[in-house]
Amino acid sequence: MASNTVPTSDLEPGESAPSGFEGDRRADTVGGVVRGYVDRIRGGDLGALPAVLGIVVLTALFFALRPETFLTPLNITNLLIQAAPITLLAMGLVWVLLLGDIDLSAGVVSGVCAAVLAQLLAEVGVPWYIAVLGALVTGAVIGLFTGTLVAMIGIPSFVVTLALFLAFQGVTLRIIGQGGTVPIRDDVIRALTNSYIPVGIGWLLAAAVVLLYAALTLNRWRGQRSKGLITQPLGIVLLRIAMITVVVVVLTAILNADRALSAAIDLKGIPYAIPVVVLLLLALTFLLGRTTFGRHVYAVGGNKEAARRAGINVVRIRIMVFVLSSSMAAVSGLVAAARLSSVTPGSGGGNTLLYAVGAAVIGGTSLFGGRGRVRDAVLGGLVIAIIDNGLGLLGVSAYLNYIITGGVLLLAASVDALARRRAAAGRS
């Protein structure tokens, strides 16, 4: 989906290569790439594999158990809308996790921002864009506060955000009022998850995404090749483009199919929340993979001391990451509010944070810092949404739902920890 940020590597230890850089030439052949990939997986760098496997296996499982309902266009649309707020929250958390920090307050921050949005719309009566701006600024300011406590005062992020997890629930309660529910009546905000892009425009957007991706990828490949730099073989590049195309086309076709339960109404099109997620995915992937800021985030997460000695302002990077993460929490809160058409004192509480951390980790972001990509949030968010949605269709009891979801997060964290041990052991 996005460009390679941390490029290919092979994990074979060992020395003695008289010609030098022969691994770079090996990467030129399809076989070499495949071998490199296998080496990487055996070395503990699983990448997107667990998440993709999870999506495939879980989809097959729930389809087998609920063939009538699970893979219908209506349910897939629901599932994607369910995944959107989880994914958006996880997209911000990936950055915090990259630093080796954690933000336990991200969920309730999304609640505070949603409450600000709701009250700006309902009580103050500002137009939707002012309310959205207010929610985003609230998120950014909270991130600045959290980041300052963590990076400048030096309190462990675990403690800061655990304290804020409690405190912000109080803030939401104060803004919304005891036992109250503030409905979201604004049409534009509600449209995020309750209105759909016209079918024709939906296809145009899908085509634009595919063509843009193909053009950028091929152009980059051609540029690198012409300068004699390390490239993947054309076959692999084309395969990636083909896979992205298939995913985009299939999803667009499903979302553009009529999913109404009664023939009298017409219900089709891509929910507006989806392009919001895709746009932020592209923007954040660019920021993380192609800019100095992103590179420095990886460096701080990989080796803080090395980053400091290289002249990187570690404090500034950490604060900015918390600002970014909390701003993404605001976006997530916004979409969640649109989906439920209301904000309650409990918004962003419960399992919101657990789901988002789970999404990032299942997607392949390490809890130990230094390894992760923005797309992890999307893949992991889908896994979490499939579990949540599928268990709902199965009608399992609430207690079982909690236990299974918690178990999946533990499983993902175990895979992460084992992969890390494996990578450490592979080093000579």
Partner 1 sequence: MSVPKSEDGSPILELRGVTKSFGANQVLHGVDLKVYPGSVTALVGDNGAGKSTLIKSIAGIHPIDSGEFWFDGERVQVTGPRDAAHLGIEVVYQDLALADNLDVVQNMFLGRERTKGAVLDEASMEQAAKDTLTTLSVRTLKSVRQLVASLSGGQRQTVAIAKAVLWESKVVILDEPTAALGVAQTRQVLDLVRRLADTGHAVLFITHNMVDVFEVADRVAALYLGRMAADVPISQVDRTQVIELITSGRSGDLGLDQSVFEGA
Binding site for partner 1 (CB under 8 A): 6-24, 26-27, 43, 223-224, 227, 229-230, 290-292, 295-296, 298-299, 301-303, 305-307, 309-312, 370-371, 423, 426-428
Taking the least distance from each CB to partner 1, the nearer of 22 and 123 is 22
Taking the least distance from each CB to partner 1, the nearer of 26 and 66 is 26
Question: 350: closest CA among 406, 309, 411, 301?
Answer: 406
Taking the least distance from each CB to partner 1, the nearer of 183 and 302 is 302
CA distance linking residue 195 with residue 397, whole number of Å: 31
Taking the least distance from each CB to partner 1, the nearer of 18 and 154 is 18
Taking the least distance from each CB to partner 1, the nearer of 237 and 257 is 237
Supply the minimum distance, in Å, between the C-beta of residue 97 and partner 1.
13
Supply the minimum distance, in Å, between the C-beta of residue 409 and partner 1.
23
Supply the minimum distance, in Å, between the C-beta of residue 258 and partner 1.
43
Helix and strand numbers (H, E) in the chain are: 17, 4
DSSP 335-385: HHHHHHTEE-TTTT-TTHHHHHHHHHHHHT--TTSS---THHHHHHHHHHH
Taking the least distance from each CB to partner 1, the nearer of 68 and 427 is 427
Q: Which residues contact 175 (CB under 8 A, 6 or more apart)?
A: 112, 115, 116, 119
What does the buried/exposed string (b/e) look like for 76-88 if buried means 16 or more CB atoms within 10 Å of the residue's CB? Answer: bbbbbbbbbbbbb
Supply the minimum distance, in Å, between the C-beta of residue 113 and partner 1.
28
Supply the minimum distance, in Å, between the C-beta of residue 255 and partner 1.
32
Supply the minimum distance, in Å, between the C-beta of residue 100 and partner 1.
11
Which own/partner contact pairs does 194-201 have at CB distance under 8 Å and 24+ positions apart? 194/271, 194/338, 194/341, 195/271, 195/272, 196/255, 196/267, 196/268, 196/269, 196/270, 196/271, 196/272, 197/269, 197/270, 197/271, 197/272, 197/275, 198/269, 199/256, 199/268, 199/269
Three-class DSSP category at 195:
coil
Q: Which residues contact 169 (CB under 8 A, 6 or more apart)?
A: 108, 111, 345, 349
Supply the minimum distance, in Å, between the C-beta of residue 381 and partner 1.
23
Taking the least distance from each CB to partner 1, the nearer of 291 and 414 is 291
Taking the least distance from each CB to partner 1, the nearer of 139 and 294 is 294
Supply the minimum distance, in Å, between the C-beta of residue 426 and partner 1.
7
270 alpha-carbon distance from chain centroid: 19
